[in-house]
């Protein structure tokens, strides 16, 4: 009986390390889940003033992007589709970018955003716990952050992660 103890310990260790390998170290748990969106009073990349009251009064996506960011270009078609098909409004945070470059980028690639908050210094980014573009937050109608996705939001991520999260939010709000 005692002979099996090392085998069991070894098996447990292998299991724990195996699970550890499958974790993505880039995916930090957000502290802001279920917390209200930080207060902001900034301008858009076009220079219009925006603050929390300008956010959509329904479930929306908050997408952190920049014209320098290649993965943003990868997820761009998905964001375009979502906003064009009216599936969900998308608000952008233009993170540590230059407004002229950002405007050019939207002109070239298309603009999926209701508006893009111009966060040149990354100040709003810090309040959100952002550490690099692209990141996407799911915010509910009350302006509470419900979900966060780091890295590219493609169709697969949309269907596997966001659609269920949104369905859950809607189910809770209907109760």
For residue 28, the minimal CB distance to other proteins (Å) is 5
Residue 82 to residues 16, 65, 75, 76, 95: CA-CA distances in angstroms? 39, 16, 11, 10, 21
Asked whether 113 and 44 are in contact (CB, 8 A), the reply is no
Nearer to other proteins, 89 or 125 (CB): 125
Nearer to other proteins, 96 or 146 (CB): 96
Nearer to other proteins, 58 or 121 (CB): 121
Binding site for other proteins (CB under 8 A): 25-26, 28-32, 96, 121-123, 125-132
Separation CA 50–CA 40 (nearest Å)? 8
Nearer to other proteins, 2 or 171 (CB): 2
For residue 30, the minimal CB distance to other proteins (Å) is 7
For residue 173, the minimal CB distance to other proteins (Å) is 26
Separation CA 132–CA 65 (nearest Å)? 9
Q: Report CA 61 to chain centroid distance, whole Å.
A: 7
For residue 31, the minimal CB distance to other proteins (Å) is 4
Secondary structure (3-state) at 155:
helix
């Amino acid at each position: 009986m005692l002979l099996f103890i090392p085998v069991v310990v070894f098996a447990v260790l292998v299991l724990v390390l195996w699970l550890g390998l499958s974790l993505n170290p880039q995916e930090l748990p957000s502290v802001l889940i279920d917390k209200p969106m930080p207060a902001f009073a900034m301008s858009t990349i076009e220079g219009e003033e925006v603050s929390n009251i300008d956010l959509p009064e329904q479930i929306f996506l908050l997408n952190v992007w920049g014209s320098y960011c290649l993965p943003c270009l990868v997820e761009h078609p998905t964001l375009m589709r979502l906003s064009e098909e009216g599936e969900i409004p998308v608000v952008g945070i233009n993170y540590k970018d230059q407004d002229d470059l950002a405007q050019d980028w939207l002109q070239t690639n298309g603009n999926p955003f209701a508006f893009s908050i111009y966060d040149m210094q990354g100040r709003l980014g810090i309040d959100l716990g952002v550490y690099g573009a692209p990141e996407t937050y799911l915010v509910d109608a009350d302006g509470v952050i419900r979900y966060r996705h780091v890295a590219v939001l493609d169709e697969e991520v949309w269907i596997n992660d966001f659609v269920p999260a949104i369905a859950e939010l809607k189910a809770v709000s209907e109760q």
